[in-house]
């Protein structure tokens, strides 16, 4: 009578250990999901000059102007098929020719801050 019970307890403990381990690994591999409120604070100091407070952009420096994140056509562009990957790459590596800073590569922003900014930019796209 004791044995099936023990097996069940062992199974549950193993499952729990796997879940905890899995969560730990996932967190080590990628930063946690972005916090838009934290992103907003960074955006207000580092990004508004070129992207405008409402994200409508249109500021041209040396190449492409900043995109208008309020325009659904911008998001429909195939280069943004996976918008988070596209934005992460741009914030990490910049678009030097156009004047967009390589925030991540130059160490000016940490991976978590980049995720926070991506989350905030999504809220700009939604706001009318
Ligand atoms: C000095 C001006 C400038 C500043 C400051 C700046 N950007 Fe940019 N950014 C640009 C320009 C110009 C582009 C367009 C690049 C291109 O398409 O070639 C761009 C493009 C982007 C893109 C790609 C967007 C898209 O959908 O095409 C993202 C994401 C982005 N910027 C995020 C940020 C964030 C986040 C900050 C603040 C940490 C920031 N930028 C600060 C000039 C700037």
Asked if 56 and 72 touch (Cβ cutoff 8 Å), the reply is no
Q: Which helix (H) or strand (E) holds 8?
A: helix 2-29
Of residues 104 and 22, the one with the higher pLDDT is: 104
Residue 32: predicted pLDDT:
74
CATH architecture of 36-126: Orthogonal Bundle (1.10)
Residue 26: predicted pLDDT:
54
For the stretch 56-113, pLDDT in tens is 999 999 999 999 999 999 999 999 999 999 999 999 999 999 999 999 999 999 999 9
Which protein residues touch ligand 1 with a CB less than 6 Å away?
42, 46-47, 49-51, 61, 63-64, 66-67, 80, 87, 90-91, 95, 98-101, 103, 117
Residue 5: predicted pLDDT:
63
Residue 126: predicted pLDDT:
82
User: Which residues neighbour 107 within 8 Å (Cβ) at sequence distance 6 or greater?
Assistant: none
Question: 3-state class of 58 per DSSP?
Answer: coil
CA of residue 72 to ligand 1 center, whole Å: 17
Pocket perturbation via mutation, ligand 1, pick of 85, 90, 96, 122 by most ligand atoms within 8 A of CB: 90
* For the chain, domain boundaries: 36-126
Cα–Cα dist 86/63, whole Å = 18
Q: What is the dihedral of CA 31, 33, 36, 39, to 10 degrees?
A: 10
Question: 3-state class of 95 per DSSP?
Answer: strand
Of residues 116 and 17, the one with the higher pLDDT is: 116
Q: How many CB atoms are located within 10 Å of the residue 60 CB?
A: 12
**CA-angle at 99, arms to 54 and 112, nearest 5°:** 60
CA of residue 47 to ligand 1 center, whole Å: 7
For the stretch 32-55, pLDDT in tens is 799 999 999 999 999 999 999 999
pTM above 0.85, yes or no: no
**Which ligand 1 atom sits nearest the alpha carbon of residue 97?**
18
Q: Which residues on neighbouring strands pair with residue 95, listed in sequence order?
A: 100
- What is the residue whose two structure tokens read 């980049």? 114
Nearest-CA residue for ligand 1 atom 7 is 100
The answer to whether residue 16 scores a pLDDT higher than 80 is no
DSSP 3-state percent helix, strand, coil across the chain (nearest 5)? 65, 0, 35
């Amino acid at each position: 009578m004791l044995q099936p019970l023990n097996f069940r307890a062992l199974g549950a403990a193993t499952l729990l250990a796997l879940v905890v381990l899995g969560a730990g690994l996932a967190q080590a591999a990628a930063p946690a999901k972005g916090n838009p409120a934290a992103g907003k604070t960074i955006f207000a100091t580092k990004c508004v000059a070129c992207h405008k407070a409402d994200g409508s952009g249109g500021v041209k420096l040396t190449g492409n102007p900043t995109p208008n994140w309020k325009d659904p056509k911008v998001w429909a562009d195939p280069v943004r098929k996976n918008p988070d990957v596209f934005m992460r790459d741009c914030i990490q590596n910049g678009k030097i020719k156009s004047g967009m800073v390589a925030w991540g590569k130059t160490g000016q922003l940490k991976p978590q801050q980049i995720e926070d900014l991506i989350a905030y930019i999504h809220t700009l796209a939604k706001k009318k």
